[in-house]
Amino acid sequence: MFPSFSLRYARLPERLRAECLPTPVERPRLVAFNRELADELGFDLAAFEADEAAGALAGNQVPKGAEPVAMAYAGHQFGNFVPQLGDGRALLLGEVVDRHGRIRDIQLKGSGRTPFSRGGDGRAPLGPVLREYLVSEAMHALGIPTTRALAAVTTGERVFRRIPEPGAVLTRVASSHLRVGTFQYFAARGDTEAVRLLADEAIARHYPHLSDRADDGERYLALLDAVAERQTELVARWMGVGFIHGVMNTDNTAISGETIDYGPCAFMDTFDPRTVYSSIDEQGRYAYVNQPVVIQWNLARFAETLVPLIDSDGERAVERATPIIREVSERFEARWREVMRAKLGLATDEDGDGELAQALLDAMRAGRADFHLAFRYLADAVEAAAEAPRLKDIFESRDELEAWLPRWRERLAREEASNADIVARLNAANPAVIPRNHRVAEAIAAAEEDDFEPFEALLAVITDPYTTPDTEVDYTRPPRDEERVLRTFCGT
Ligand SMILES: Nc1ncnc2c1ncn2[C@@H]1O[C@H](COP(=O)(O)OP(=O)(O)OP(=O)(O)O)[C@@H](O)[C@H]1O
Ligand SMILES: [Mg+2]
């Protein structure tokens, strides 16, 4: 059933990883399987058999040709350096070449202890597995780079967190699992040769256009620049959909520029830039508004690992890398303005657009408006005479919105586009439905009682995010006060 594995990472020197077999589980049952993705990866779906797939995706049988490894990595967690993390509950089965010729990692998450497990049990509860499944697939449907979810299997075993919970294994697909933390692990040990191997692997897999730069220093500097570009764009796009990652540690920052590790993440409901969901982030380090600064900080940590590759003279290397890190804030601003222009229905570029977008966000904050509905319902207010009651109703106080609308319409007038075109642009840029935290929590609660119907129904609507769902359940509405999920438990 599985496509053939290429074992690139498993063939790298032993110190980059640990060979390790998954720990079998009692009663594997396939509860979600992404057929479309499986097909893209080259799975033989004609030979698909649910029980066999459940066994393989729970780790009870290692698929033919796979050589599972746990990857070594370190990381800054909430600003503190931890020299040894590594896949403590994940195993890379190997890489496959998909139908488009792209190399993709296939990894089990929650498949048992590894040499990097430290005190952990190597397992994952069903709730976090389903949250990662839903949110990563929604992210993909929104067109934002992300790891994907291929399958979820329940294990028939309990895992113990605050309370006993049903266990599960997620099969995750990534264009690679290289993280800033992977580089940090070897840099911290003074192992420049390993950092070079990783940098070469990152270039080969994610930035092949850089491989023909003859000068080593230039090439690794260009790698830093390319990662900075993708990560900056990624964060700008998160901001555009109101996404809060929740644990932007350097070990959760992917070199590919994909979103990775959906722990206590969520899409914001009421707009407040200080929003944070993680139960352990008491200082709000990873709040919505801090994400651009955090990514700059994480990229600076990445740059530090590359110093010996950039120039044998350390000071000169730092001098060469510093402008790239400094530029992250400007780059972010430029990407953010692009994202926001699209959300406002603007195809042309004017100097005041960033400020116009910020003024709407300020109005949303003052009016305690729902982030998603505020943008989605802008389409009602394009016409000068429009009453737009749906839009206005979601603002608790409207003065700032009322002042903003004429400014926006004036700007729209300079677009030289028909109102119908503007409305079409707005509806293509502002999703009708995202996986709201209370719906995710509801789907998880039902699944824990063995009812996967809410999970499936939610998955169906969030993977078609720009279409207003025609369902009995209203997936677009914000949570009622009693449904609001204020914090997501971070002890996955
Ligand atoms: N239950 C567990 N058993 C063993 N190790 C764990 C467990 N939970 C987390 N870890 C390890 O703790 C570190 C930080 O965890 P974090 O929550 O960022 O990652 P994760 O969600 O497990 O995985 P990923 O980043 O691959 O999505 C990682 O090295 C991770 O492997
Ligand atoms: Mg992680």
The answer to whether 435 touches 135, Cβ cutoff 8 Å, is yes
pLDDT in tens, 355-382: 999 999 999 999 999 999 999 999 999 9
HSE-CB for 359 with a 13 A CA cutoff: 17
Dist CA 57 CA 38 (whole Å): 12
Query: At 420, which helix (H) or strand (E)?
Result: helix 419-429
Task: For residue 179, say whether it is annotated as part of any ligand binding site.
Answer: yes
Nearest CA to ligand 1 atom 20: 261
Is the shortest distance between the CB of 85 and ligand 1 below 6 Å? yes
pLDDT in tens, 436-479: 999 999 999 999 999 999 999 999 999 999 999 999 999 999 99
Residues 88, 78: Cα–Cα separation, whole Å: 18
Say yes or no: CB of residue 245 within 6 Å of ligand 1.
Answer: no
Answer whether 286's CB lies under 8 Å from 298's CB. no
Structure tokens at 238: 């998160």
Asked if pLDDT for residue 491 goes beyond 70, the answer is: no
pLDDT of 141 higher than 80 = yes
DSSP at 98:
-
Give the residue among 44, 65, 59, 136 at the shortest CA–CA distance from 90.
Answer: 59
The answer on whether 272 is annotated among ligand-binding residues is no
Note whether 62 and 125 are within 8 A (CB).
no
Per-residue confidence band for 243, with pLDDT thresholds at 50, 70 and 90:
very high
Alpha-carbon gap, residue 40 to 463, rounded angstroms: 16
Alpha-carbon span 125 to 158, nearest angstrom: 8
Residues 96 and 413: their CA atoms lie apart, in Å, by 50
Q: How far does the chain reach from its first CA to its final CA, in angstroms?
A: 30
Does residue 489 register a pLDDT over 70? Answer: no
pLDDT band at 277 (very low <50, low <70, confident <90, very high): confident
The Cα–Cα gap between 110 and 182 comes to: 20
Closest C-alpha to ligand 1, atom 19: 261
**Would the CB of 40 count as within 6 Å of ligand 1?**
no
Q: Which two tokens stand for residue 11?
A: 């063939």
What pLDDT, on a 0 to 100 scale, did the predictor assign at position 282?
A: 86
The residue whose CB lies within 8 Å of the most ligand 1 atoms, and thus the one to mutate among 261, 278, 489, is: 261
Q: Kindly report which listed range (28-42, 192-206, 278-292) carries the lowest average pLDDT score.
A: 278-292
Question: What pLDDT, in 10s, does the model give residues 400-434?
Answer: 999 999 999 999 999 999 999 999 999 999 999 99
Query: What does the mean pLDDT of the chain come to?
Result: 97
- Any ligand 1 atom below 6 A from CB of 90: yes
Phi, psi of 478 (to 5 degrees): -65, 165
C-alpha pair distances (Å), 442 with each of 74, 431, 448: 34, 21, 10
Q: State yes or no: 121 annotated in a binding site.
A: yes
Distance 327 CA to ligand 2 centre (A): 27
In this prediction, residue 303 carries a pLDDT of 98
Token output for 387: 């009453």
> How far is 402 from 405, CA to CA, in rounded Å?
6
Q: How far is CA 302 from CA 221, 253, 270, 321, in A?
A: 11, 10, 34, 10
Token look-up 């657009």 returns 353
Question: Which two structure tokens, joined as six digits, stand for 153?
Answer: 């299997």
Number of alpha carbons in the 13 Å side-chain half-sphere of residue 435:
32
Closest ligand to Cα 78: 1
Exposure string for 266-279, b = 16+ CB within 10 A, e = fewer:
bbbbbbeeebbbbe
Which two tokens mark 438?
A: 């209370």
Amino acid at residue number 456 = E
Q: How confident is the model at residue 492 (pLDDT cuts 50, 70, 90)?
A: low
Catalytic residue among 105, 251, 269, 370: 251
Determine the Cα–Cα distance for residues 486 and 238; give it in Å rounded to an integer.
19
For 158-188, what is each residue's pLDDT tens digit? Answer: 999 989 999 999 999 999 999 999 999 999 9
| Residue 251: active-site member | yes
Helix 314-326 × helix 291-310 angle, to 10°: 150
Verify whether ligand 1 is closer than 6 Å to residue 117 (CB atom): yes
Does this model's pTM top 0.90? My answer is: yes
Q: For the CA atoms of 249, 192, 86, 5, what is the dihedral angle to 10 degrees?
A: 110
The arithmetic mean of pLDDT across residues 52-77, rounded, is 97
Residues recorded for the chain: 492
Q: Enter the tokens of residue 166.
A: 């049903």
Phi-psi category of residue 33: left, alpha or beta, with phi > 0 → left and psi -120 to 50 → alpha: beta
**Alpha carbon separation from 406 to 322, 356, 383, 393, 395 (Å, rounded):** 43, 11, 10, 18, 17
106 to 150, 231, 399: CA distances (angstroms): 9, 22, 51
The pair of structure tokens assigned to 448 is 């824990």
Instruction: Please enumerate in sequence order all residues whose Cβ is within 8 A of that of 76, keeping only pairs 6 or more positions apart, or say none.
Output: 82, 181, 184, 249, 250, 251, 298, 301
Q: What tens digit of pLDDT does each residue of 82-126 get?
A: 999 999 999 999 999 999 999 999 999 999 999 999 999 999 999
